[in-house]
Chain A
Amino acid sequence: MKKETRTKTKGKLKLVRRFLSGSARWFLLSAFLALFTSFAEMLTPQIVRFTVDGVIGGETEGLSSAALAVADRFGGVAAVRERFWLIPLAILAAALLAVGSRYLFRLSNSLGAETLVKRMRDTLFSHIEHLPFSFHRKNQTGDIIQRCTSDVDTVKNFLAEQLTQVFRIVTLLVLSLSFMFSMNAKLSVIALCSVPILFFYSLLFHRKISASFRECDETEGKLSAITQENLTGVRVVRAFGRESFEQKRFAEQNEKYASLWVRLSAVFSFYWGSTDLIAGIQVMLIVLFGAKFVLSGEMLSGEYIAFISYNAMLTWPVRMLGRMIANLSKATVALDRIAYIANTPEERDEPDAGTPDLRGDIVFDHVSFGYEGKDELLSDLSLTIPAGSTLGILGGTGSGKSTIAALLDRLYPLEEGKGRITIGGTDIKKIQSKWLRQNIGFVLQEPFLFSRSLKENIGITRRDPTEEEIRRAASIACFEETADSFADGFDTFVGERGVTLSGGQKQRAAIARTLMSETPILIFDDSTSALDAETDAKIRAALREKLRGTTVILITHRVQTVMHADRIIVLDRGRIAEEGTHETLSAGNGVYAELCRLQGEKGGAE
């Protein structure tokens, strides 16, 4: 157990280190600047002190030696009194120093933070793209997105904003305390008293309050869900006449949410009020005892004023420190959630995987396959597709026909001892997955278009496709005219934030996209299902014309789509039930022949 948590912590640290590369130097710089800023901020009270005690008060004892040394460069205290404008100038100079370095601190800190978050996002995105496909099957999109967005923000806020703030706070604390001690130790001890009280109070408070926050978040989530469901189910609500029920349901949750927040706010107001009171009492004690020390001659008036200024610098950082430590647990949880993605191994090729010529025969050799935890989908399937020929695979829902294609493209690896797939005699395990997929054009059953223009979608596999190439691909896919019919032609923006295409239009765009790279192997996985028979036939005729020498696999439940194939197999629950050409199969009395009759295909060629 212990060892496990240790390796887990180690893994997390490694991850943090990975993310921090590139931004670490900015953080280092900002830490240095934080130190400098805090120091610069200590100067003003010292100037005030020197002014009040030395210049105005005319004291000679009890001035800080550093201030006297500076004054000596301008001719001593008396000279400064003559040229009193030197004082405001000194204050402005100190302010410029503090303001400038604080500005630089914030800037370098934000550079660090943004570099860090960019690196996290980039790493995660590219990592997700390179994960094996089974990861995507297993995990829900919404969950992964949340890990990549809000969890990343949480970690960033902690590492970049809070952690550097902690550093600044600590330096501010240490410096102001040391200045205070240098002036009056007894008074400093009194000032110091409130530090642990405020710190632990704030720490405990923020620990306690996080549960209430979660409760509020959950209630809000429920309220939001009720609204969402009411809106998406508006037809059901109206049709069943349940408006008043919905009204009540919403009102109850709404009330619960609002009163939870009011209660939480009361606690918060109390916290703020009480810490303010503690801080106020502390200031009062300083004013009081300070005055006493001045009276007893242990302190000068200017020192007293400066001391009060330093004291004011203490309260805020201590409160913040408690809050940050309480937030640590939130950041750890978020980091864990990110680590789940980042530590899932990427898809890897075997070390000796090569890039052979893929213009050979495709052979499925006793292949069996089932998705993780599911029944076997393909059982002992053997199949040879000669190079340059066309194979039609016909099957119903759940027959395993799409799985054949997915296995050939190595979207899922074959388990050891469950057969092998070779192209031109090379096991696909020994082919680099990138090379393999680049050589197999695969048109998916459900086409996915990206939120870009049509032109960019079709040419997405190429670096600088010409307009002509895109038009050629689109014309083979019978998509050119459709694209031209849009107001913006090929520049039409599609996808989530653009024009919605019909199923058939999407399929044709996807075919055009696949045709852009001239691959020796082409797979059409039910990719013309939304097209009418005529367009389907037209596309296939154009393909036959263009793609001589290409090995083609057509997967469908339509006879018409496969009838011109060199060979046709009928797949039934992972096994080949019938095999032959359109002529032989349609003449028999199997499934194929029955489908021919049903779908009105009489046999014979064009």
Chain B
Amino acid sequence: MTQTEKKQETVRLPGFGIPALLPYLKPYRALLFVMIACGLAGTVADLAIPFFQRYALDHFIGERTTDTLFSFVLFYVLVLLFQTGVNFTSTFLAAKVEQRVGRDLRRASFDHLQTLSFSYFNQNSVGYIHARVMSDTARIGELVSWSLMDGVWHLSYVIGAIVVMFRLNARLALLVCAVLPFAFVLILLFQKKLTGFHRKIREINSRITGNFNEGITGAKTIKTLVIEEKMSEDFRTDSSEMRRTAVRAAHSHAMLWAIITFASSLALSLVLWQGGKLTMENAMLLGTLSVFTSYAMGIMEPVQWIVDALSSLINAQVNIERLIGLIRTESDVADTPEVVERYGDAFSPKKENWEPLVGDIEFDDVTFRYPDGEETILDHFSLKIPHGSSIAIVGETGAGKSTLVNLVCRFFEPTKGRILIDGRDARERSQLWLHSNIGYVLQTPHLFSGTVAENLRYGNPEATDEELWQALERVSAAEVVRRMDKGLESEVGEGGDLLSTGEKQLLSFARALLADPRILVLDEATASVDSITEDRIQRAIREITEGRTSLVIAHRLSTIRSSDLILVVDGGKIVERGTHTELMAQNGPYHALYTRQFEEEGTERVFKEKAKGGETPAPAL
């Protein structure tokens, strides 16, 4: 069930994935148009600048006159200002497009994730999805702005320079162009090599981080086994490989630049050779020669940038495919159009049409298999849970206790059969309607970064401070919050990390209580907490299950014994069902499980009671 990555969702897209991105670029058509236009205008200015030098050489110096000096300066300054203006506009617009497209893609993927079913989250790790939302979007944003801009700038410069050179002198222009293809092929070759090295460097880098992680989290083991030297030695193998690869990458990079520089010099020498001759024969003016030398020197570097933009386009395809794959993944738990019509969707509910929920749950001949699993987990399973009753689900860790809960919450749909809520098929009403009536308390309580109040209001956004305190009071958590420096406004840290597990547990109870759900799902914690907190948790559980239909994945004997019905799960399937007394009499898996639980809880109790007794001397008999 908890397999990571792979599966479906890697789509293949034509045209490097660009067509699939078009809808996201459409709102910025105008911006992109202006950006490209300014880019082209910038190139024109770049190409124009050498002509001032030419004019100065041929007119001022060649003809020994300064008659046009004023208009020369004026024109020069105007071109400079024009260049600055269009360059500013194009770079700023590129940044804007980058950010806006990135933002839209992030938002689209995040919103879509809110509607995807749990099978998606089971198949893809959090890290994988996170990378799609945060890095792929950034990469695509960069592609459609900066890479595009680079392409436009440098391609237009190369083309523009070639055109101008041909107009000035075709023979010299041909000489410069002859160098270009060679340079292009060589640059392509080394760029490709470089990309390979960079990939490898990233790989080794993550291995090195992994090594550090292992060396630190495993410090105790490493010390007790006295393998510090071995670990350091193994680390050095990786860091040496890193050094080797990085140096090779640097070599490729240096070669790349050497090629560009040398190609420039080659073009320059050709121009000077032929152009010099022409100038000596007075067939060409000195200024024209100087324009040629400028272009010959300047034309090689843009080639490298064109290659760079091309390789970004190719490399970004995988990012586009993964992101579009996410956005196009369809949820396998979806409300029908009729249901959405009547009850609204996840983002805009039509609460006026919502019926109140009573809390009767019925499994009606349900057969279930996880979408990515092979095995049938429930086979024609039927069970009626009248409202207000309590169900305990027990079994070994990893036995598949959450399946029933997943079905009741509609995190998954039955493969066959129906689940009835208050006598009607769950699919007849919206997911949000059901979820708004379900309270959910996790074994590892999940809090969001923010204040205590914000977390509590997650259960009920409209709750007043007073109601928050009431809820805290009822689950015996008021004291905990009062002790914090800012009370309800205290920060809980990322994932609630500033609180202890027990405190998080209590706050998540209060949160569930505020939601005032008709159905309560509770995954009891197994983690050991101190005895005072333990007592509080016990009381809180009794408080919040009171008067609600409750499904408890149970670990505590008190919960188990007093449940209306106990379901025993093993290997994903329900192997026994009945009340505590009935099941104990059967002497089956439940009996074994209960005995062990009894033993463990008893052992801790014996140690604790002994500890209490140790304080006061035993009364003399």
Contact = CB atoms under 8 A, between A and B. Distances in A.
B254 A103 contact: yes
B54 to A, nearest CB: 10
A231 B121 contact: yes
Interface stretch (A64-72, A245-253, A484-492): A245-253
Given A56-B280, A129-B231, A396 B435 contact: no
A259 B107 CA distance: 14
Interface string B453-488: 000001101000000000000000000000000000
A294 interface: yes
A102 B606 contact: no
Interface SS, A side: helix
Contact of B440 (A236, A244, A396): A236
Contact of A122 (B235, B436, B528): B235
Interface SS, B side: helix
Given A231-B130, A411-B223, A103 B255 contact: yes
Interface stretch (B22-30, B209-217, B364-372, B573-581): B209-217
A492 B348 CA distance: 50
Given A118-B240, A397-B528, A291 B60 contact: yes
Interface stretch (B110-118, B155-163, B185-193, B415-423): B110-118
B224 interface: yes
B458 A106 contact: no
B603 A557 contact: yes
Contact of B286 (A56, A98, A258): A56
B64 interface: yes
A438 B364 CA distance: 62
A225 B345 CA distance: 26
B440 A239 contact: yes
B276 interface: yes
A44 B130 CA distance: 52
A148 interface: yes
B204 to A, nearest CB: 11
A371 interface: no
Given A126-B232, A437-B224, A243 B446 contact: no
Interface in A488-514: 495-497, 502, 513-514
B341 interface: no
Given A240-B515, A280-B84, A269 B348 contact: no
A145 to B, nearest CB: 5
A131 to B, nearest CB: 8
A171 interface: no
A496 B210 contact: yes
Contact of B265 (A91, A270, A287): A91
Contacts of A129: 215, 219, 222, 228, 231-232
Output the residue of B106, B133, B223 with the most chain A CB within 10 A. Answer: B223
B494 to A, nearest CB: 6
B60 A269 contact: no
A274 B92 CA distance: 13
A526 interface: no
Interface stretch (A13-21, A315-323, A590-598): A590-598
B270 to A, nearest CB: 7
A400 to B, nearest CB: 12
Interface in B196-242: 208-228, 230-232, 235-236, 239-240, 242
A419 to B, nearest CB: 21
B265 A99 contact: yes
A236 B219 contact: no
B593 interface: no
Contacts of A520: none
Interface stretch (B9-17, B74-82, B306-314, B540-548): B74-82
Contacts of B227: 460-461
Interface string A222-247: 01110111111111111111111111
A308 B53 contact: yes
B212 A91 contact: no
Interface stretch (A81-89, A183-191, A384-392): A81-89
Contact of B77 (A145, A284, A395, A573): A284
Output the residue of A103, A496, A557 with the most chain B CB within 10 A. Answer: A103
Given A122-B232, A437-B223, A572-B614, A238 B411 contact: yes
Interface in B265-324: 265-266, 268-270, 272-273, 276-277, 279-280, 286, 289-290, 293
B254 A87 contact: no
A295 interface: yes
B444 to A, nearest CB: 10
B614 A272 contact: no
Contacts of A558: 603
Interface string B606-621: 1110110010000000
Nearest to B232: A126
Interface stretch (B96-104, B355-363, B376-384, B552-560): B96-104
B91 interface: yes
B177 interface: no
Contact of B347 (A110, A229, A243): A243
A245 B461 contact: yes
Contacts of B251: 107, 110
A451 B286 contact: no
B216 A145 contact: yes
Contacts of B179: none
Contacts of A461: 225-227, 230
A95 interface: yes
Range of interface residues on chain B? Answer: 35 or more
Contacts of B121: 231, 234
Interface stretch (A204-212, A374-382, A442-450, A545-553): A442-450
B56 to A, nearest CB: 4
Output the residue of A48, A87, A269 with the most chain B CB within 10 A. Answer: A269
B350 interface: no
A52 B64 CA distance: 17
A88 B296 CA distance: 13
B240 to A, nearest CB: 7
B257 A106 contact: yes
Nearest to B106: A254
Contact of A102 (B98, B208, B242, B257): B257
Interface stretch (A260-268, A470-478, A534-542): A260-268
Interface of A: 44, 48, 51-52, 55-56, 81, 84-85, 87-89, 91-92, 94-96, 98-100, 102-103, 106-107, 109-111, 113-115, 117-118, 121-122, 125-126, 128-130, 133, 136, 141, 144-145, 148-149, 223-225, 227-247, 250-251, 254-255, 257-259, 261-262, 265-266, 268-270, 272-274, 276-277, 280-281, 283-284, 287-288, 290-292, 294-295, 301, 304-305, 308, 395-397, 399, 409, 411, 434, 437-438, 440, 442, 444, 447-448, 450-451, 460-461, 495-497, 502, 513-514, 557-558, 572-573, 577, 591, 594-595, 598-600
Interface of B: 49, 52-53, 56-57, 60-61, 64, 66, 72-73, 76-77, 80-81, 83-85, 87-88, 91-92, 95-96, 98-100, 102-103, 106-107, 110-111, 113-115, 118, 121, 126, 129-130, 133-134, 208-228, 230-232, 235-236, 239-240, 242-243, 246-247, 250-251, 253-255, 257-258, 261-262, 264-266, 268-270, 272-273, 276-277, 279-280, 286, 289-290, 293, 346-349, 398, 409, 411, 431-432, 435-436, 438-440, 442, 446, 448-449, 458-459, 461, 494-495, 511, 515, 521, 528, 598-599, 602-604, 606-608, 610-611, 614
30 contacts: A48-B293, A84-B273, A84-B276, A103-B254, A103-B258, A110-B247, A118-B240, A125-B231, A126-B235, A133-B219, A223-B134, A231-B113, A235-B411, A240-B459, A243-B346, A255-B103, A257-B103, A258-B100, A283-B49, A287-B56, A288-B76, A291-B60, A291-B61, A301-B57, A305-B293, A460-B225, A460-B227, A461-B227, A461-B230, A572-B607
